[in-house]
């Protein structure tokens, strides 16, 4: 019988093709990231030839001390922080969108960035240290404490009975306005010097990058990513709707709480180091969704890579636009990100969100 | 033989008692059982209670099956995720556990369920592009891909056209026969019920009024109590029982 062999899994073959395409896309994103990192390190106010930069990276002892300091103590931490912060904010946004079933959810729209700005301003304007033990680090620590407080508030309220995902998102937007008003009040009473510090902080900047900040943000990514990865199937199923996911055996409530907690950490720490970089948390996940779909096995690494590539490329732009100057990266993400994002949605937008 | 029986099962949402003392004799697998009841009679609550999603008094007795063999298909079919139909069925398959890798046999079972429910052409389509009826069919495939022994489906045919209703109920009957599964379907079309379902459970105001063979239980009197409708069950020219609706029930009966 050579007639019909219905048991040939033709769809499975096509699915394997889809998986292969996605692996190619992920690899491409990773290569793009390496390229962007290389360009980022080679650019800066001091013009060094690319060859010298590479030599300083791979054989530091052969370069003079000034070059080593510029590359290893200034440019490398900045370039790497762009990557860890971009990946963290994008992953945080991706999982917020997943568990809250809302395309607008991100560290920015849920009020975490606004809370962090307010915390930082408390330190810069009033000199208030929320943890007096660490006065030297009071700006980032205040920012972190306020961002964590905001997300724990959202986290706590989401455990109440009858609180829906829509309520959580509305509450986040209410937080944005409240913290912005409080911040404006602080700015009104601030000295000129403090005011300019606050304004610069809220623009978002990588210029205060250190190896310690790179290590902390990378460490948090290393802790959170495997925890999300282990729940990849369940997180994907949540996107089929709460009831359907529950019917498939997903512990929806518990998973949502766990994810909200991880997301709080992922968002609060980078924001307290670099200030307001609003757009990555929304654009990163949406680009990843358009490229790779929402199977978390691809979406999870994809969202991180997209966020990292976007912020790293933005860092390159922030140095390239005005030679000799480094523009605040938060401004560039919005200026370049918005038109790019709009174009992407309008040209390639599927019906999913 | 797989079977399901309820013993004084209750459930409440907050202060509202939705189900009280729902009991049934053993419902045996291998054929379809219809769960009948007016809107808000408690059908979805009963399903969720049996599926273990709601707490409450009483016992759900399964024989020859345990809770992991049970699948519940809720009514809501909102699917805005950027997933293909194929991926969404893999997803249902992998919730039981297992790592990121997909084995050949897992992929084969996805292909199999797509084939059985006539969804082959939709395999590569994105969920948000589907019509309501197509989503419902995908939901059925998601529910059955794990080969469950106890299946609860909340209005599985409500968005399907006549042909698809027939096709889907036929496929569900075949599934029940092949696997011996207990399959309880909440349905509203009583003629479909008479054609496809061997057994009927009738639910009104959170209580089970009757459970039994379709043609014995589905009397004009029961239909009047369930839906407030006067009706007749008559034989058509080919001898099949057909239900004819006459109008709202007389007050005396309600």
B189 CA: distance to closest CA in chain A (Å) = 24
Q: Which chain A residue has its CA at the smallest distance from B96's CA?
A: A249
Q: Give the pLDDT confidence of B164-210 residue by residue, as tens digits.
A: 899 999 999 999 999 999 999 999 999 999 999 999 999 998 889 99
DSSP bridge pairs for B235? B241
* Strand B70-73 to B150-154 pairing: parallel
Q: Is A75 helix (H, G, I), strand (E, B) or coil?
A: helix
Q: Is pLDDT above 50 for A26?
A: yes
Confidence of residue B86 (pLDDT cuts 50, 70, 90): very high
Segment B61-69 shows an average pLDDT of: 86
Q: Is pLDDT above 80 for A25?
A: yes
- Domain positions in chain B are 3-218, 219-254
Asked if B132 has any chain A CB less than 8 Å from its own CB, the reply is no
Q: Give the pLDDT confidence of A229-262 residue by residue, as tens digits.
A: 999 999 999 999 888 898 888 998 889 888 988 9
Asked if A232 has any chain B CB less than 8 Å from its own CB, the reply is yes
B218 CA: distance to closest CA in chain A (Å) = 30
- Burial of residue B236, with CB atoms counted within 10 A of its CB: 0-12 exposed, 13-18 middle, 19 or more buried: exposed
Asked if A23 has any chain B CB less than 8 Å from its own CB, the reply is no
> What tokens were used for B62?
């399964």
- Which residues are CB-neighbours of A236 under 8 A, at least 6 positions away? A294, A295, A296, A299, B81, B83, B91
**pLDDT at position A82:** 95
Asked if B83 has any chain A CB less than 8 Å from its own CB, the reply is yes
Distance CA A302, CA A93 (A): 12
Tell me the Ramachandran region of residue A160: left when phi exceeds 0, alpha when psi lies from -120 to 50, beta otherwise: beta
Confidence of residue A271 (pLDDT cuts 50, 70, 90): confident
Segment A336-347 shows an average pLDDT of: 75
Q: Is pLDDT above 70 for A278?
A: yes
CB contact at 8 A, A278 and A336: no
Q: Tell me how many residue pairs between chain A and chain B have CB atoms under 8 A apart.
A: 112
Q: Which chain B residue has its CA at the smallest distance from A17's CA?
A: B124
Distance CA A51, CA A42 (A): 9
- DSSP secondary structure, A276-328, as one string: ---SHHHHHHHHHHHHH-S-HHHHHHHHHHHHHHHHHHHHHHHHHSSTT----
Question: Of B76, B107, B128, which has the smallest distance from its Cβ to A350's Cβ?
Answer: B128
CA angle A334, A197, A339 (to 5 degrees): 5
| B26 secondary structure, DSSP code | P
- DSSP secondary structure, B143-208, as one string: HHTT--SEEEEESTTTT--HHHHHHHHHHHHHHHHHH--EEEEE---HHHHHHHEEEEEEEETTEE
**pLDDT at position A313:** 93
ipTM score: 0.86
At how many degrees (to 10) do helices A10-42 and A280-292 cross? 140
> What tokens were used for A257?
């709480």
**pLDDT at position B171:** 93
CB contact at 8 A, B225 and B209: yes
Range of lowest pLDDT (A118-122, A125-129, B75-79, B149-153): B75-79
Which of A240, A304, A232 shows the shortest CA–CA distance to A270?
Answer: A304
Segment A256-272 shows an average pLDDT of: 87
The mean predicted confidence, pLDDT, of chain B is 89
Interface contact B110-A11, CB threshold 8 A: yes
What are φ and ψ of residue B232, in 5° steps? -130, 145
Asked if A240 has any chain B CB less than 8 Å from its own CB, the reply is yes
- Burial of residue B191, with CB atoms counted within 10 A of its CB: 0-12 exposed, 13-18 middle, 19 or more buried: middle
Which of A209, A217, A203 shows the shortest CA–CA distance to A91?
Answer: A217
Range of lowest pLDDT (A97-111, A131-145, B94-108): A131-145
Q: Give the pLDDT confidence of B217-233 residue by residue, as tens digits.
A: 999 899 999 999 899 88
User: Which domains, ranges and CATH numbers included, belong to chain A?
Assistant: 63-348 (1.10.3470.10)
Which of B12, B86, B90, B91 would best serve as a mutation to test chain A binding (most A beta carbons within 10 A)?
B91
Roughly how many angstroms between the first and final C-alpha of chain A, as a whole number?
48
CB contact at 8 A, A296 and A233: yes
- CATH code of B3-218, in short, is 3.40.50.300
Segment A194-202 shows an average pLDDT of: 87
**pLDDT at position A36:** 95
**pLDDT at position A46:** 78
Which of B191, B183, B145 shows the shortest CA–CA distance to B30?
Answer: B183
Question: Of B82, B94, B107, which has the smallest distance from its Cβ to A350's Cβ?
Answer: B82
**pLDDT at position B254:** 46
More confident residue, B254 or B178: B178
Segment A92-120 shows an average pLDDT of: 88
Interface contact A12-B110, CB threshold 8 A: yes
Distance CA A16, CA B241 (A): 49
Confidence of residue A197 (pLDDT cuts 50, 70, 90): confident
Distance CA A192, CA A199 (A): 11
Distance CA A329, CA A85 (A): 12
**pLDDT at position B251:** 65
Which residue matches tokens 């239980």?
B217
Interface contact B74-A11, CB threshold 8 A: no
DSSP bridge pairs for B11? B19
The mean predicted confidence, pLDDT, of chain A is 87
Which of B80, B105, B120 would best serve as a mutation to test chain A binding (most A beta carbons within 10 A)?
B80
**pLDDT at position A4:** 44
Q: Is pLDDT above 60 for A349?
A: no
Distance CA A150, CA A270 (A): 15
**pLDDT at position A3:** 42
Asked if A352 has any chain B CB less than 8 Å from its own CB, the reply is yes
**pLDDT at position A87:** 97
Choose from A108-117, A302-311, B111-120 the range with maximum mean pLDDT.
A302-311
Asked if A47 has any chain B CB less than 8 Å from its own CB, the reply is no
Q: Is pLDDT above 90 for A19?
A: yes
Which residue matches tokens 């008003």?
A181
Confidence of residue A348 (pLDDT cuts 50, 70, 90): low
Which of A263, A301, A329, A338 shows the shortest CA–CA distance to A79?
Answer: A329
Asked if A253 has any chain B CB less than 8 Å from its own CB, the reply is no
Distance CA A175, CA B127 (A): 34
**pLDDT at position B253:** 47
Confidence of residue B78 (pLDDT cuts 50, 70, 90): low
**pLDDT at position B138:** 92
**pLDDT at position A351:** 54
């Amino acid at each position: 019988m050579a007639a019909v062999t219905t048991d040939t899994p033709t769809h499975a073959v096509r699915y394997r093709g889809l998986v292969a395409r996605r692996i190619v896309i992920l690899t491409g994103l990773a290569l793009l990231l390496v390229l962007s990192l290389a360009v980022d390190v080679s650019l800066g106010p001091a013009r060094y030839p690319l060859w010298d930069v590479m030599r300083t990276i791979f054989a530091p002892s052969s370069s003079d001390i000034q070059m080593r300091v510029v590359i290893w103590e200034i440019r490398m931490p900045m370039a790497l922080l762009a990557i860890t912060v971009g990946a963290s904010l994008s992953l945080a946004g991706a999982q917020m969108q997943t568990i809250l079933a809302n395309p607008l959810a991100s560290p920015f729209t849920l009020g975490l960035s606004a809370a962090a700005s307010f915390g930082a301003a408390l330190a810069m304007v009033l000199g208030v240290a929320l943890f007096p033990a660490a006065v030297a680090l009071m700006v980032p620590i205040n920012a972190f404490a306020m961002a964590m407080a905001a997300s724990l508030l959202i986290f706590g309220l989401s455990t109440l009975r009858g609180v829906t995902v829509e309520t959580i998102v509305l509450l986040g937007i209410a937080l944005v306005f409240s913290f912005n008003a409080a911040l404006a009040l602080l700015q009104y009473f601030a000295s000129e010097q403090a005011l300019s510090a606050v304004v610069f902080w809220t623009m978002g900047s990588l210029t205060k990058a250190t190896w310690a900040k790179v290590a902390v943000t990378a460490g948090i990514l290393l802790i959170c990513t495997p925890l999300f990865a282990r729940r990849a199937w369940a997180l994907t199923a949540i996107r089929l709707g709460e009831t359907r996911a529950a019917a498939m055996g997903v512990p929806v409530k518990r998973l949502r709480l766990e994810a909200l907690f991880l997301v709080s950490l992922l968002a609060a720490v980078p924001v307290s180091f670099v200030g307001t970089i609003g757009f990555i948390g929304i654009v990163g996940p949406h680009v990843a969704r358009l490229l790779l779909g929402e199977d978390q096995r691809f979406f999870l690494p994809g969202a991180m890579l997209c966020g990292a590539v976007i912020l790293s490329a933005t860092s390159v732009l922030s140095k390239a636009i005005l030679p000799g100057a480094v523009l605040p990266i938060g401004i560039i993400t919005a200026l370049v990100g918005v038109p790019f994002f709009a174009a992407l949605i309008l040209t390639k937008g599927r019906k999913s969100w | 033989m797989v079977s399901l029986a309820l013993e004084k099962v209750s459930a409440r949402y907050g202060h509202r008692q939705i189900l009280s003392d729902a009991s049934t004799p053993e419902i045996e697998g291998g054929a379809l059982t219809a769960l009948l009841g007016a809107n808000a009679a408690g059908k979805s609550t009963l399903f969720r209670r049996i599926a273990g999603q709601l707490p409450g008094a009483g016992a759900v007795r399964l024989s020859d099956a345990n809770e992991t063999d049970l699948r519940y298909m809720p009514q809501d079919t909102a699917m805005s995720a950027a997933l293909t139909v194929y991926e969404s069925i893999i997803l249902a398959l992998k919730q039981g556990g297992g790592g990121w890798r997909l084995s050949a046999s897992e992929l084969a079972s996805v292909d199999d369920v797509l084939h059985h429910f006539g969804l082959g052409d939709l395999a590569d389509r994105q969920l948000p592009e589907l019509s309501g009826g197509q989503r419902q069919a995908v939901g059925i495939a998601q529910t059955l891909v794990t080969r469950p022994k106890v299946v609860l489906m909340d209005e599985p045919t409500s968005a399907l056209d006549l042909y698809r209703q027939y096709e889907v109920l036929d496929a569900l009957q075949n599934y029940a026969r092949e696997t011996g599964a207990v399959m309880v379907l909440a349905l509203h079309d009583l003629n479909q019920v008479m054609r496809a379902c061997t057994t009927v459970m009738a639910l009104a105001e959170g209580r089970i009024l009757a459970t039994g063979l379709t043609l014995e239980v589905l009397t004009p009197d029961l239909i009047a109590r369930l839906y407030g409708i006067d009706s007749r069950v008559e034989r058509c020219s080919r001898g099949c029982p057909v239900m004819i609706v006459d109008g709202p029930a007389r007050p005396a009966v309600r």
